[in-house]
Amino acid sequence: MIQVGIVGGTGYTGVELLRLLVAHPEVSVSVITSRSEDGLRVDELYPNLRGHLDLAFTKPDVKRLSECDLVFFATPHGVAMEMAPELVAASVKVVDLSADFRLQDTEQFKQWYGMEHTCPDLLTEAAYGLPELNRAAITGSSVVAVPGCYPTAVQLGFAPLLENGLVDTARLIADAKSGVSGAGRQGKIDNLLCETSESMKAYAVPGHRHLPEISQGLQRISADSVGLTFVPHLTPMIRGIHATLYSTLCSTLTGQSTQSLQELFEQRYADEYFVDVMPAGSHPQTRSVKGSNQCRISVHQPQGQDVIVVLSVIDNLVKGAAGQAVQNMNILCGLEENCGLSQVALMP
């Protein structure tokens, strides 16, 4: 059994990680940490885990965590980069769900997250954990940076078009919506039911923290420089990301048929267990992926013109966070990629 530790298990991502790991046939969760809840049984905070986990929260202890085979960080930004070097030195694999190892440019990290990066040497070794686009780099890595939820949905949606040089990379638009759980479990007035119910709003239009991560990822895919407009929205639902992605066919390719684009997407993701290209004309719904590690995608060419519209939906807590973290763990540990992740989405 793979001995796993979790640093920061009290948030929505942490409990989702636990939900998946306690049902994983090859994993034993041996330690879970929280400074604020030290000594409290996990199933007292999260009763859904009663009968599945017999652990209490403890304060983070690198020596104890070093006894694990792999450690997940479900912590605020800045925590993983402080503890990861010592864990890696002890031959422990690190899977980080925060942004500490996502951006390769330390100045960008400082600009968007307001702190210096404390282990740039380890940053250069970290693999970006979007398996469908970066599987080879993940295999054998000691540190994996789990992508953000918006970046996951956006990159998977744009990838087939950019890989084949079909669209104008200078004019990419990502119009994305998120459920309220994407803002985390901490108490904020803007996240209260009365503030979010029966309302929708855009936010961070001048610049969202996920913008440089998405741009970095799209640039890796594309042979050309990328210009991206990214506008996130908060929607009155608990879980889910819905990304509507707009791009314009290159002038030399005007007249490309929707059928050929459909085939392109189907072929690109034919061997990807967690990406489902929907039938032509489909409009995937966030509820169709709720609680699962699936990304469902459809591609449209409205009125046969040169604008391509891709719809991409995921559960922000699963494929957008904890599920993708487990998917990366499976790769690192030589397991089948879908091991412990075959849950059918919850409906209604």
Tokens at 294, concatenated:
């699936």
Give me the amino acid identity at 170.
Answer: A
Angle at 35 between CA 78 and CA 45, to 5 degrees: 115
List the one residue out of 219, 74, 239, 209 whose CA is nearest residue 133: 219
- Write out the DSSP string of 289-340: STTSS-EEEEEE-GGGSSEEEEEEEE-TTIIIIIHHHHHHHHHHTT--TTTT
Q: 116-119: long-range contacts at Cβ-Cβ below 8 A with a sequence spacing of 24 or more?
A: 117/81, 118/81, 118/82, 119/81, 119/84, 119/85
Taking the mean position of all CA atoms in its chain, how far away is CA 309? 22
- Residue of 149, 250, 333, 339 with catalytic role: 149
Given strand 241-248, what is the order of strands in its sheet? 201-202, 228-234, 172-178, 241-248, 307-314, 295-300, 275-277
DSSP state of 255: T
Q: Is 295 among the residues known to form the active site?
A: no
Catalytic residue set = 149
